[in-house]
Every structure is written in structure tokens, then in C-alpha cells.
Amino acid sequence: MSGANASPTGRSHKETSEANASPIGRSHKEMSGAHERSECEPDRAKPLIKASPIGRSGANCSEKGIGLVLALMILLLLSLLGAALLTATTVDVWIGDNYRTSTQLLYVTESGIEAGRETLNRGMIAASSVPFIRDERLLDPSGREAGRYSVSLLRANPLTLQSTGVIGAARKTIEVRLDKSGFPNPAAAITLSEGASNDGVDPRLKTPAGAERFVDGIALNATEIFDPAWDEIIDLGSVGSPGDYRVVVVNGNCEFGGAAGYGILLVRGDLTVRGNFTWNGLILVIGQGTMRVTSSTTTAWITGGVFLSRTRGVYRNSANSLGDLLNQLGPAVLDLAGSSVSVEWSPAEMDHANRRFPYIFSSYREY
């Protein structure tokens, strides 16, 4: 009875101390383990509740390895940027190479056009699709080959020149139509241009301003230019030779005689011819438009043509040696003074006299 009815106070000291032990008295290891289980493991005695991703415990479990993922994404982005930069640089290099080749090819092909014009200036070539200049090398300043060109005369009327340039596998073709500069061939052996509608004169020569434009063009290509004072006279001797037709411009009065001349003689003042002389080509008196032949002339032979046109006023002085430009053509004067002068109209000689003048473009096409 005494054992069955023992009061709780009759327990042993050890049992009583263990039963009444406070959680504070637990070891650090036991407490830490309990804490971990409470955070990452659900309490078995409570129903399972899904943790919110916003909760502190869910964040601690799901963010493991996020730094590696971010590093890989940044590395991928940098790789894409590097590839884009490399591609852009490569494309720029290709564009630069293509532009340089295209520019060089244009220069090579245009060099062929210039070579063709120079060849035509030396004499007419029969029209043919077969190049008269074939695979001509063009060298750069260092002596290296920059490219090659071939040139052909496709048509004689209208004059059509074609040049093809080649650099490696690249090709370019330029086709141009050319007009001969210089002075239009007069329609007769002696032409006095006074603006008449039916005189056969080129329409561009029917006004003082139009005729003066031709004068300016001839002066640009002249081999000799003389500028006497308004009251002086240039005594002109022999000019050129059968193999060297010249272009002589006298900006004033001129005398010619006792000699032979080849080419174009342009006098902007008064022209006086005397004695025995011959001229092959063109004699142009544009300005004062006056040509006089002295009575002492016994043998004078002109093969080609003579053209007279008054474009300037008679009054001249030291400040205005050529005279004022007229509004319309004045009367031209040809005074033979009873002398015998033979003028044979010759388009061949006039063309030869104009040979020094370049061909100019009237149209241009490249492909």
C-alpha cells in the first residue's frame, strides 16, 4: 500500500528533475536541430501548408545557384555582342574593299575613254566592235598594274566610243558619244557671215555672242597667241608645216604674206595679206571681220576655207583694243583689190586644221 499510494513527491530525484526540465536547459545541439526541422520540415502533428514564395524560408531554399545562372547569362550576352561587333567590322571591311575596287575600276575605264579620244585626234578610225586598244595596262605611281582597259569605236555617226575596264574579276563599261570641238566647217570656200537665214552658216555662228564663244574655245587650244596694242600690227611669218598644223590667235591687227601657213589663223582685228603666200586650213577673221589683199599679191593659194564675221564695233582704243560686242552681226568686208587669190574649198584640210581640238562628250553611260 505504501508503494501503490506513493505520492508524486515520492519519485526519485532523477525522474523529477528530468520531467521538470525546462527547454532552456537543453543542449545547443538539440536546440539547433529542432530549429532546422521547424524551418525546413513541416510539423508532423500539423497539416501540411504550402509555403508562399514570398516567405523567408522559401527564398532561402530556391535561390541556391542563381549566381551561376546570372554569370552564364551575362557571358552569353557578351558573346553575342562580340559576335555582332566582329560581323559589323567584317562587313565594313568588305564594303571598303568593294568601294575602293569600284572607284579604281571607274578610273581605269575612264582612262580608256581618254586614250580613245587621243587616238581619234590623231586620225579617224573605222567603226568596229573589235577594240582598237586591247588590254592596255594602267600603272599606278609606284609602277604596279592598277587594271586593264580595252577601247572600241562602235559607230562613226554619231561618234560612239566604248571602254571596258577590268580589275581582277570586276568589270565596268563606259559608252560615250563624242562631238568634235573646234570650228564648224564653212559651207563654202569664202563665207561672209552677216546673219542671213539662208547663207548655210552654222546657227551657232549667227549671233555675235555665239561666234565669240567659238573664239574663246579656239583660244583655249591655241599653240600661239599674239596680243598687239590696238594700233599695232603683227607681221606673221610662216606657220606650222605639213606635219604640224598649228592654231594661231591674233588679238588685234595682222599682216601675212611671203610665207606658208598650216592650220587655223584667227584674227580678231583687221587681216591684210600681201605678196605670194599659201595657206592650208582655215583663215578666220572674227571681230572686225575685215580681210584685205594688197595689189602686190600675184600668187595666193588657200586650201580649206575663209570665214569672215563682224562681231565688234569699229571704234577701238587702248582701253578697248577689240571694240564693243555688237548686238547683231555687222557687215563683213573682203577686199581683193584686183589681186588673184584662189580659194579651194577642202573639208579634208579643215578637218586636219581642227585636229588639235579635243572630242567632247555629248552623252555618257556606264554599266
CA dist 190 and 291 (Å) reads 11
Q: Is the pLDDT of residue 142 over 60?
A: yes
Q: Which of 127, 153, 180 is the last residue of a domain?
A: 180
- Tens of pLDDT, residue by residue over 299-331, are 789 999 999 999 999 999 999 999 999 999 999
Tell me which residue of 232, 235, 210 sits closest to 311, measured CA to CA: 210
45 in any annotated domain: no
How many whole angstroms from its chain centre is CA 40? 80
Residue 190: the pLDDT is 94
265 in any annotated domain: yes
171 in any annotated domain: yes
For 359, left (φ over 0), alpha (ψ -120 to 50), or beta?
Answer: beta
Strands 325-330 and 133-139: unpaired
User: pTM value?
Assistant: 0.66
Residue 306 and residue 287 in contact, taking contact as beta carbons nearer than 8 Å: no
Q: Which of 155, 180, 205 is the last residue of a domain?
A: 180
> What are residue 256's DSSP bridge partners?
236, 273
Q: Which residues contact 261 (CB under 8 A, 6 or more apart)?
A: 236, 238, 239, 240, 248, 277, 278, 279, 280, 281
124 compared with 227, residue with greater pLDDT: 227
Question: Do residues 197 and 90 both lie within one domain?
Answer: no
256 in any annotated domain: yes
Residue 62: the pLDDT is 62
- Tens of pLDDT, residue by residue over 20-43, are 444 444 444 444 444 444 444 445
Question: Do residues 245 and 303 both lie within one domain?
Answer: yes
Question: Do residues 298 and 215 both lie within one domain?
Answer: yes
Question: Do residues 147 and 209 both lie within one domain?
Answer: no
SS3 per residue for the chain: CCCCCCCHHHCCHHHHHHHCCCHHHCCHHHHHHHHHHHHHCCCCCCCCCCCCCCCHHHHHHHCCCHHHHHHHHHHHHHHHHHHHHHHHHHHHHHHHHHHHHHHHHHHHHHHHHHHHHHHHHHCCCCCCCCCCEEEEEEECCCCCEEEEEEEEEEEECCEEEEEEEEECCEEEEEEEEEEECCCCCCCCCEEEECCCCCCCCCHHHCCHHHHHHHHHHHHHCCCEEECCCCCCEEEECCECECCECEEEEECCEEEEECCEEEEEEEECCEEEEECCEEEEEEEEEEECCEEEECCCCCCEEEEEEEEEEEEECCCCECCECCCCEEEEEECCEEECCCCCEEEEECHHHHHHHHHHCCEEEEEEEEC
Residue 95: the pLDDT is 83
Question: Do residues 162 and 248 both lie within one domain?
Answer: no
7 in any annotated domain: no
Q: Which amino acid type is present at position 282?
A: L
- Tens of pLDDT, residue by residue over 332-362, are 999 987 677 889 999 999 999 998 898 888 8
Q: Which of 147, 162, 180 is the last residue of a domain?
A: 180
167 in any annotated domain: yes
Question: Do residues 282 and 148 both lie within one domain?
Answer: no
Question: Do residues 145 and 202 both lie within one domain?
Answer: no
Question: Do residues 170 and 194 both lie within one domain?
Answer: no
Question: Do residues 113 and 230 both lie within one domain?
Answer: no
Q: pLDDT band for 7, please (50, 70, 90 cuts).
A: very low
Q: Is the pLDDT of residue 248 over 60?
A: yes
Mean pLDDT, residues 44-66: 55
Residue 87: the pLDDT is 83
Number of domain units in the chain: 2
Question: Do residues 148 and 295 both lie within one domain?
Answer: no
Question: Do residues 308 and 281 both lie within one domain?
Answer: yes
Domain that holds residue 114: 65-180
Q: Chain-wide mean pLDDT for the chain?
A: 83
137 in any annotated domain: yes
Q: Is the pLDDT of residue 204 over 70?
A: yes
Q: pLDDT band for 61, please (50, 70, 90 cuts).
A: low
140 compared with 269, residue with greater pLDDT: 269
28 in any annotated domain: no
Question: Do residues 124 and 214 both lie within one domain?
Answer: no
Residue 349: the pLDDT is 95
